Structure 1
Amino acid sequence: MEEKKYSKIYRLIHWAIAISLVLLLVTIFLRLTWMNKTNVANIIQDYLNGTDQVLSQKQLIVLAKKIRQPMWNWHIYIGYVLVGLYSIRFLLPLFGYMRYQNPLRKDLTAKLRFQQWLYIIFYICIIISLATGLMIELGPKSSKELMEEIHVLSIYYLISFIVIHLAGVFIAEFSDQKGIVSRMISGTRDED
């Protein structure tokens, strides 16, 4: 099999997108676990139990949301960065720096065809996530609830894609594409 080479711009975009996606997952994970509004409200309530101050559950939730808002703002900022990175990713082929995937080419093996379709599906899902995220932040308030419902589904395909991607890299590294990780980091294969 021909050894694939990755240009600097390809690797830079790949890793910037990968890091952004991981950071988005961290903010989602924190929001769903430790920084969950109910958990934070309970922590505040536990603290207030030792004082003479009393807040209603509604007030505790409002305070909890305010405490976690700066963390959630990072989710939004990273989303904007990802919009920029994906815009660059889709413009680069126009300048010859990267190429678009074409799973309909006749010369592809079944494995490559599957990989390319997987990436296309992933890109479509990311575009939907980015578009719904932008609509939540910048769009009309009347569509916010629907956009949030669609946007929340992002976590399912994102985690699935990351698992499939890492499994594919692992399999490739230990089969016919040895050195794929080092080529994706440095552009060249480490010699054994």
Structure 2
Amino acid sequence: MDTPQPNTLMPRVAKTYSAPLRAWHWLNMLVITGSLATVIINATITDDRANSTLIKTELQRSGAIITDDQARQAAHALGDSVWGIHIYFGYALTILLIARLVLEWFQLADQKLIRKVKTAYHQYKTVKEQRQRSRHEFAVKTLYAAFYLLLIIMAITGLFLAFEDALAAYRSIRHSVKEVHGFCMYLIIAFVIVHIAGVVIAEKTDSKGIVSDMINGGN
């Protein structure tokens, strides 16, 4: 009697997170971290007031003659160099955002964010069992959708500020655009904090391995 041969053509199990999505997630994390870091540096280490005083004091010790205005200009130049790096991070964020929108189009149906939001909402409305878990799932997916909307606003307002010379006709709204850009930055910081806290809580409760899944894809 012939011995059954093992099936070597087992169907592949779809990953919870596709490789492109995982790569996007970690690259986006690095870009957002770098962007926020430049903001923090300019608000602290390269602050104009503190640095102008430091520059003037150190140059006077070496025998140079420098006015307050010259010291402020030198300090401002340091801040501008950091903002230049911030702008490059902004370009990278815009490219990643466009890539994410393209990726959403080509993702498997059950991995599309919009599909996940709709599914979570449907389960919350129709499934009576585990209503609290369904509510939580829907809230999480909605929060992610809001995060992507924030990224879009950040990218648009950031590009406006980066190319304000070319958009001189709209210079009157520059202050408002800058305010929106800054406000969205605080919201993104809040999202990052909530996201990290949520991941830590999930790892300690009923979603162990969630970080590992974002690295190896999960099943």
Secondary structure of 1:123's match? helix
* Residue matched to 2:122: 106
- Residue 144, structure 1, aligned to residue 169, structure 2: no
Q: CA deviation at 1:40?
A: 1.7
Candidates 47, 70, 82, aligned match of 1:36:
47
Secondary structure of 1:12's match? helix
* Residue matched to 2:32: 21
Name the aligned partner's letter for residue 216 of structure 2: S
Percent of pairs identical after alignment? 29
Distance 2:36 2:204 in 1: 28
Q: CA deviation at 1:171?
A: 1.0
Candidates 185, 192, 199, aligned match of 1:169:
199
Distance 2:107 2:185 in 1: 32
Q: CA deviation at 1:138?
A: 1.6
Q: CA deviation at 1:57?
A: 2.2
Distance 2:107 2:59 in 1: 61
Secondary structure of 1:35's match? coil
With normalisation by structure 2, the TM-score equals 0.78
* Residue matched to 1:134: 159
Distance 1:63 1:16 in 2: 34
Give the gaps of 5 or more residues in structure 1.
none
Candidates 53, 58, 61, aligned match of 2:64:
53
Contact kept, 8 Å, 2:113 with 2:145, in 1: the verdict is no
Q: CA deviation at 1:164?
A: 0.3
Q: Indicate the larger mover: 91-100 or 164-173.
A: 91-100
Q: State the aligned residue count.
A: 186
Candidates 84, 88, 107, aligned match of 2:99:
88
* Residue matched to 2:190: 160
Q: CA deviation at 1:168?
A: 0.8
Q: Indicate the larger mover: 66-75 or 124-133.
A: 66-75
Distance 2:185 2:143 in 1: 17
Name the aligned partner's letter for residue 36 of structure 1: D
Give the gaps of 5 or more residues in structure 2.
1-14, 125-133
Q: Deviations over 1:86-124 (max 9, x none)?
A: 111011121225512353431241011101111122111
